[in-house]
Amino acid sequence: MTHAPNTLREIEDLPDVGITLSDGTRLSARVWRPVDAGDDPVPAILEYLPYRKRDGTAARDALTHPYFAARGYACIRVDMRGNGDSEGLMDDEYSAQELADGVEVINWLAAQPWCTGKVGMMGISWGGFNGLQIAALGPDPLKAVITLCSTVDRYADDIHYKGGCLLNENLGWGATMWSYSSRPPDPALRDKWREMWLERLEAEPYLPALWLRHQRRDAYWEHGSVCEDYSKLSAKVLAIGGWGDAYKNTVPRIVADLPGSKGILGPWVHKYPHFAVPEPRIGFLQEALRWWDRWLKDVDNGAEDDPALRTYLMDGVRPATWYDRREGLWQADPVAEPAAFHLTDAGLSHDDGPLDCLVASPQDCGMDGGEYCAIWLGPEMPGDQRRDDALSACFDSAPLSEDMDISGAPRITLTLTSDRPAAQIAVRLCHVHGDGASTRITYGVLNLCHRNSHADPAPLPVGEPVTVTLDLDHIAYRVPAGDRLRVAVSSAYWPLIWPSPERTTLRLGDGDIALPVARTAGNEWTFPEPDSAEPWQTRQRRDPAHVRRVEQDQQTGLVSLVIEDDFGVVEDAEHGLFGGTIARERWIIHPDDPQSARGICHWTDERGRGDWVVRTETRSEMWSDATHFHLHASLEAFENDERVFSKTFKDSIARDHL
């Protein structure tokens, strides 16, 4: 029996399908597929992650995978080796082993009697990264990829470095993985869960130190960066991102450099767009289904004729640390022309003029920058920029005579002179409201030692002017008539990036910015309303809560950003496994001393069922002096409140033009 495309089919949910790799390692997969797939085979859609299908991604899996399965696909959520209920050990993100395993999984899927032999990969963040990376290895069955919130350049657009500056997310996400990877398998699925758990804990790497040992864009970062050779990507790629996400630049890069690809950029943070915020959401599942049908089932539905790039132009609004909704409209293949502004002593002007301005920001400039990658749904967005503006050199335009639709990546060129051989700049483009409130539109940062090359940095010539060019992040934002534009330039941006080793003073002698301005008359595209499968059935045992506050010690002068994310405790209503996590971060600095910078992370993770409870406590700390970064971390594991494992990690790593 052969079903017509997208005929709704009865499905089955298999929670622990074993995929045995060539080295004998058993990976655990959850499979949703039509019950009659053995008689009427279907294409396979793979999502391949370290984030635990049993509980870590269960909420989004429930909304997504059964939807595709009921429409004639087999959806496979695989725990990577060393994670969740899979055997083996993991030593890094996007390792050669991880990608080779992924190729094996794809070939295994294609060979199953219930599969047509065609495979797609879909994923957000880690799964979006490795979807592209595995596609670049060219497994024949892999015909299409949907990548969300990912990157084509692991050095320039991941959580490690930006503009050659060290992102504090290098420590923050490393601390997250230090906790995530410490979780055990589910004893209901693995009889040897305790042996597997202790083996993982013993072998678990401390990834921030590994990443920090590669401060230049070297071969380590070239591995997995598909921008090195787009010609290796033969699978058809749909790339999706959000303006509230860290990886927004990837989508226009893929569309520009990979023929036949398509891109969508909405107002969202780091989430799938059928349940993302800020709203409006879109019918992502319907959009994805068209992609799968076209490239995995050869349905002639015109998906290849859609606009190459669809972007959501957000209305300019007052600053807030969180938005439930962003009003705006959809652009289809927006065409932008550069509008040139000059930085002058009189402000931001279409006319050139003299400029002689000092930039010497206190080290706590940037406290209102928000999260590098908004993901946890707390107060993570950039708030009112007036405090950071006051610590920066600011250049304001006259009130705009008409609405300005900025759609693309602004480019700024500055001529500056430094009093130190190592320095950094942060540039923010802001929307200034009538009462002075300042909304960050977009931003960029640059380690000035990387002004010419991320692979071969060089000290600044002290006292000599240099000219640098920096692209700010892509954005689509409408500044209303009557309001002003502001370019704010600072020499620090804490806690988004780690500070230079010494306080610096920069003298600006020339500058201009080119804004990509589009003409958008009205809504140019309409997506279907969001749809989904039934939600994950759970019991809430503790409600989530999120805290973000700035503290200043009046005695020491230290300024701290305190972040506390309690994700609550959730119990699976079917199999009874519960889990809860509390993450705490503290980012400390003295306004006058870059060497006072310190990051502290502490995660508590608890899993259990009935009278069985396990818990891990992971801690990470980083500080620096003029020549080295210093790291200290610890991991403790408890079973029913008895400590069963502990280890510590210490390292010092030389600064390399950073």
Residue 243: the pLDDT is 98
Q: Which residues of 48-83 are buried (b: 16+ CB within 10 A; e: fewer)?
A: bbbbbbbbbbbebbbbbbbbbbbbbbbbbbbbbbbb
Three-state SS at 289: helix
Q: Which two tokens stand for residue 142?
A: 């892999």
Rg, the chain, Cα only? 25
How far is the C-alpha of 74 from the C-alpha of 60, rounded, in Å? 17
Give the side-chain half-sphere CA count within 13 A for 299: 15
Domain 11-154+223-299 top-level CATH class = alpha beta
Q: Which two tokens stand for residue 35?
A: 């019950």
Eight-class DSSP state of 279? B
How far is the C-alpha of 635 from the C-alpha of 620, rounded, in Å? 9
- The DSSP secondary structure of 507-545, one letter per residue, reads EEEEEEEEEEEE---S----PPPP---PPPPEEEEE--E
Helix (H), strand (E), coil (C) string for 230-267:
HHHCCCEEEEEEECCCCCCCHHHHHHHHCCCCEEEEEC
Q: Which two tokens stand for residue 611?
A: 């009278």
Question: pLDDT tens digits, residue range 584-622?
Answer: 999 999 999 999 999 999 999 999 999 999 999 999 999
Q: What angle do CA 197, 95, 233 make, to 5 degrees?
A: 135
Q: Which residue has the tokens 């305190």?
A: 562
Closest CA to 78 of 112, 43, 115, 103: 103
- Residue 44 region, left (φ>0) first, then alpha (ψ -120 to 50), else beta? beta
Low pLDDT (below 50) residues in the chain: none
Q: Which two tokens stand for residue 387?
A: 């405090």
Are 305 and 416 contacting, i.e. CB atoms less than 8 angstroms apart?
no
Question: What percent of the chain is helix, strand and coil (3-state, nearest 5)?
Answer: 15, 40, 45
Residue 521: the pLDDT is 86
Task: Give the contacts of 195 (CB within 8 A, at least 6 positions apart).
Answer: none
Look up the pTM and report it: 0.97
Question: pLDDT tens digits, residue range 290-333?
Answer: 999 999 999 999 999 999 999 999 999 999 999 999 999 999 99
Tell me the torsion sign for CA atoms 268, 569, 196, 202: positive
E strand intervals along 304-346: 309-315, 328-332, 336-344
Helix (H), strand (E), coil (C) string for 208-234:
HHHHHCCCCCCHHHHCCCHHHCHHHCC
Superfamily (CATH H level) for 331-518: Galactose-binding domain-like (2.60.120.260)
Nearest 10 degrees: CA dihedral of 288, 289, 292, 295? -100
Q: Distance between the two ends of the chain, CA-based, in angstroms?
A: 63
Are 645 and 618 contacting, i.e. CB atoms less than 8 angstroms apart?
no
Eight-class DSSP state of 420? S
